[in-house]
Amino acid sequence: MTSLFWNEALETLHPHALRDYEAPLLAKQVDYLYHSSEYYRHLLDDAGVNPAQVTCQEALAAVPFTEKKTLAATQREGELIGPHQCAPREHIVRIVGTGGTSGQPMRLAWTRADVAVYNEMGARALWIMGCRLDDLVVNCFNYSIYAGGVMDHMAFETLGAAVLAYGVGKSRQLLDLLADIPGDKCLYSTPSYAVRLAEVAAEAGIDPQALNLRKGFFSGEAGLQVPGYRDRIESLWGMRTHDLYGVAELGCQSAECEHRAGMHFCGAGLVIAELINPDTGAVKSMAAGETGELVYTAIQREASPLLRLRSHDYVQVFTDPCACGRQSFRFRTLGRSDDMFVVKGVNIFPTNVQDILTRLRPRITGEFQIALDQPPPFDYAPRLLLEVSREIPEQHRHALISEVEGVIKQKAGFSVRVELVPQGSIASEHKTRRVLRLYE
End residue of a domain, out of 336, 365, 389: 336
- Same-domain status, 15 and 34: yes
Residues 317 and 426 reside in one and the same domain: no
Same domain membership, residue 346 and residue 305:
no
Q: What pLDDT sits at residue 44?
A: 97
- Domains in the chain: how many in total? 2
Q: Check residue 101 and give its pLDDT.
A: 44
Please report the pLDDT score of residue 2 as a whole number: 65
Measure the CA–CA gap between 5 and 281, rounded to whole angstroms: 34
pLDDT at 169 exceeding the cut of 70: yes
Cα distances from 141 to residues 36, 201, 225, in angstroms, run 33, 19, 20
Q: What is the pLDDT of residue 104?
A: 62
**Mean pLDDT lowest among 3-12, 252-261, 314-323, 366-375:** 366-375
Q: What is the pLDDT of residue 74?
A: 82
For the segment 147-165, the average pLDDT, to the nearest whole number, is 93
| pLDDT surpassing 60 at residue 103 | no
> Around 323, how many Cα atoms within 13 Å sit in the side-chain half-sphere?
5
The pLDDT of residue 194 is: 94
Q: Which residues contact 414 (CB under 8 A, 6 or more apart)?
A: 343, 344, 346, 348, 381, 408
Strand 435-437 to 364-372 pairing: parallel
Between the alpha carbon of residue 414 and those of residues 153, 228, 356, 376, 409, the distances in Å are 42, 21, 13, 15, 5
| Spatial separation of the C-alpha atoms in residues 293 and 278, rounded to whole Å | 6
Residue 26 pLDDT > 90: yes
End of a domain among 336, 371, 400?
336
Task: Answer yes or no: do 226 and 328 share one domain.
Answer: yes
* The pLDDT of residue 102 is above 70: no
Question: 224 with 278, same domain?
Answer: yes
- Residue type, position 275, single letter: L
Question: What pLDDT does residue 157 have?
Answer: 97
For 207-257, how does the pLDDT look when each residue is reduced to its tens digit (9 = 90+)? 999 999 999 999 988 778 777 889 999 999 999 999 999 888 888 999 999
Whether residues 53 and 135 fall in one domain? yes
- pLDDT averaged over the chain? 90
What is the pLDDT averaged over residues 362-380?
87
Gap between the Cα atoms of 73 and 267, Å rounded: 27
Of the given ranges (83-87, 110-114, 241-245, 327-331), which has the lowest mean pLDDT?
A: 83-87
The predicted-structure confidence for 118-146, as pLDDT tens digits, reads as follows: 999 999 999 999 999 999 999 999 887 88
The CATH number of residue 427's host domain is 3.30.300.30
Residues 60, 150 within the same domain: yes
Residues 6+ apart with CB under 8 A from 260: none
Q: Pick the last residue of a domain from 306, 336, 366.
A: 336
**Which comes out higher in pLDDT, residue 55 or 347?**
55
Could you tell me if 288 and 354 lie in one domain? no
Residue 86 contacts residue 303 (beta carbons within 8 Å): yes
Q: State the pLDDT at residue 77.
A: 76
pLDDT at site 428: 64
- 431 versus 186: the higher-pLDDT residue is 186
Which domain, by its residues, includes 50? 1-336
Q: How much of the chain, in percent, has pLDDT values that exceed 70?
A: 97
